[in-house]
Amino acid sequence: SELSALDARITVCRACDRLVAWREEVARTGRRASFAHEPYWGRPVASVGPADARIYVVGLAPAANGANRTGRMFTGDRSGDWLWAAFHRAGLAASPTSTAAGDGQRLTGARMGAAVRCAPPANKPTTVERATCAPWLAREIALMPEIRVLLALGGIGWGAVLRVTREAGWILPRPQPRFGHGATAKLTTPDGRAVTLLGSYHPSQQNTFTGRLTEAMLDDVLATAKRLAET
Ligand code: SF4
């Protein structure tokens, strides 16, 4: 499909010098001791989930020792563990865990991607890197005509959705909607389809360890996403 062709192109992108250097350096030398003998992906990470998904989840970026190691979005780190478990509770994922591509995990009705496809140092992509990676997200959204809900995990995902939909000629509310947990904004595609942008705190350890994001809060957001996807 066109979407898998896009995925294949994403995984060989080398547009950001700093991120190419970092993702490859971590894969070569910067490994965490517990993964020292495992092969690392060390490349951009494509999205996971079916092309006809109504819910598209936009995260921040792969983690250096997470998806940058496994090659599968949101796997191999605690954020991913949290997310897959919540997706399973919501009935969107076949199993509560995902470890790497080929693990038998399957999403139904949802696809997961990220604002930036390469692991950034300290999980902080620069403004230029965010802008450089945005066209991949734009192309992906354009190839998913069933999307009803864009679920942004964190403010960077939220900002990426606003940027690419505005540039694609979607009608956005004014003033620019602000990110928050449970925040929503109504977007309209150029051909008149209604899509809801929904915000959730990112399941990063700094949010989950501190209780800023609880399992119940994530479950609530996913229930809202499912409800909005049905309308
Ligand atoms: Fe390409 Fe995006 Fe990776 Fe930059 S972050 S190298 S644009 S895939």
The residue whose CA has the least distance to atom 7 of ligand 1 is 133
Asked if residue 100 has pLDDT above 90, the reply is no
CA distances to 54, 70, 128 from 76, in Å: 25, 6, 27
Angle at 59 between CA 204 and CA 166, to 5 degrees: 140
How much is the ipTM here? 0.99
Sheet of 110-114: strands edge to edge?
110-114, 55-59, 149-153, 194-200, 184-188
Compute the distance from residue 10 Cα to the ligand 1 centre, in Å: 8
pTM of the model: 0.95
DSSP strand pairing (55-59 vs 110-114):
parallel
Distance 19 CA to ligand 1 centre (A): 7
The sign one gets for the Cα dihedral 138, 114, 185, 4 is positive
Read off the pLDDT of residues 38-89 as tens digits, 9 standing for 90 and up. 888 999 999 999 999 999 999 999 998 889 999 999 998 889 999 999 999 9
Residue of 7, 11, 19 best suited for mutating to test ligand 1, as the one with most atoms within 8 Å of CB: 19
pLDDT of residue 218: 97
Above pLDDT 70, what percent of the chain? 100
